[in-house]
Chains A and B, each alone.
Chain A
Amino acid sequence: QVQLVQSGAEVKKPGASVKVSCKASGYTFTRYYLHWVRQAPGQGLEWMGVINPSGGGTIYAQKFQGRVTMTRDTSTSTVYIELSSLRSEDTAVYYCATLEDSWGQGTLITVSS
C-alpha cells in the first residue's frame, strides 16, 4: 500500500530556510502527483503546491510563489519542499499527500528566534 514517510521536526530562526522530505513507497513513484499541505496550530489546512514526480513540473499556490520550491529525486522516490525567508507565521505541521488516498505523518516546523 502507499506509504509516505516524512523527515523529522525542525526548529528554525526567522529568515532561514527549511527543507522537508517525503519518501514514497508501496507504489510506482511516478503514478501519483504529490501535494504539500500545511496546518498552523489550531488552524485549517492550507494547500501549498503540487509536484509531478514524473517530469518534475510544479504548481504553487500564489501565496508561496517565490518562496517555495518543490523537487523530487526519482532514484530514491523522494519529494522535497523547501521554504525560504521563514517567519513565525510559517510555524506549522507540513504534510505531503497524494490527496486521493495517502498522507504523510506530518513534519512540525517551528520558526522562533
Chain B
Amino acid sequence: QAVVTQEPSLTVSPGGTITLTCGSSTGVVTSGHHPYWFQQKPGQAPRTLIYDTSDKHSWTPARFSGSLLGGKAALTLSGAQPEDEAEYYCLLSYSGVRVFGGGTKLTVL
C-alpha cells in the first residue's frame, strides 16, 4: 500500500501565508489521485475543505486553496487566522483505494 506523507507540524504567523504538502511514495501526485484536504479541530469530526485537487465548498474560507506543486498536492493558506489552528489531513486515491496522510498540526502563532 502506498504511503502518503505530510509535514508533521508547521507554524504560521497571524496574517501569514503557508503551504502544506502531500506526497506519495509511488511518485508524482497528479489530479488522478483526486487529492482531498480535511481540517480537524480537537473533539470535532473532520471537515472537508478541498476536493479533487482544488475544488472548494461554500463553507471553505477563500483564504484556503488547493493545487499541485512540485510533484505533490498542496494546501495554501493565505492570511492565516487564529481559528485556522488545527490538524490538516490530505487523502489520495489509488484506483479506488484511499490513503490518508499522517496529518499536519498547524499552529498559528
Chain A complexes with chain B: yes
Question: Count of B residues near A, CB < 8 Å?
Answer: 21
Complex: A62 Cα to B3 Cα, angstroms: 13
Q: How far is the CA of A62 from the CA of B98 in the complex (A)?
A: 11
Partner of B51, one of A44, A61, A95, A99: A99
Check: B36 CB closer than 8 A to any chain A CB: yes
* Residue in chain B with minimal CB distance to A103: B45
A102 neighbours in B (Cβ, 8 Å): 48
Nearest A residue (CB) for B48:
A101
Residue B89 interfacial (CB < 8 Å): yes
Interface of B is mostly: strand
Query: What are 6 A-B pairs with beta-carbon distances under 8 A?
Result: A37-B100, A44-B89, A47-B98, A59-B97, A99-B36, A100-B51
Which of B1-38 touch A at CB < 8 Å? 1, 36, 38
Given A47-B97, A50-B98, 4 extra CB contacts under 8 A: A35-B98, A45-B89, A46-B100, A99-B51
Q: Which residues 58-76 in A have Cβ within 8 Å of B in the complex? A: 59, 61-63
In the bound complex, what is the Cα–Cα distance between A97 and B91 (angstroms)?
13
Nearest residue in B to A4 (C-beta to C-beta)? B45
Distance (Å) between the CB of B84 and the closest chain A CB?
18
Among A44, A47, A105, contact of B45 (Cβ-Cβ < 8 Å): A105
Residue B79 lies at the interface, judged by CB distance under 8 Å to chain A = no
Cross-chain contact A61 with B97 (CB below 8 angstroms): yes
* Cross-chain contact B96 with A106 (CB below 8 angstroms): no
How far in angstroms is the closest Cβ of chain B from A60? 9
Among B45, B46, B96, B102, max chain A CB count under 10 A is at: B45
* A101:B57 contact, CB within 8 angstroms: yes
The contact of A44 among B1, B97, B98, B102, by CB within 8 Å, is B102
Cβ–Cβ < 8 Å partners of B36 in chain A: 99
Cβ contacts B37-72/A at 8 Å (1 or 0 each):
010100001111001000001000000000000000
A53: CB under 8 A from chain B?
Answer: no
Residue B86, interface by CB 8 Å: no
- Chain B residues with CB below 8 A from A62, complex form: 1, 97
Collect the chain A residues with CB atoms within 8 Å of residue B98's CB.
Answer: 35, 47, 50, 61, 99
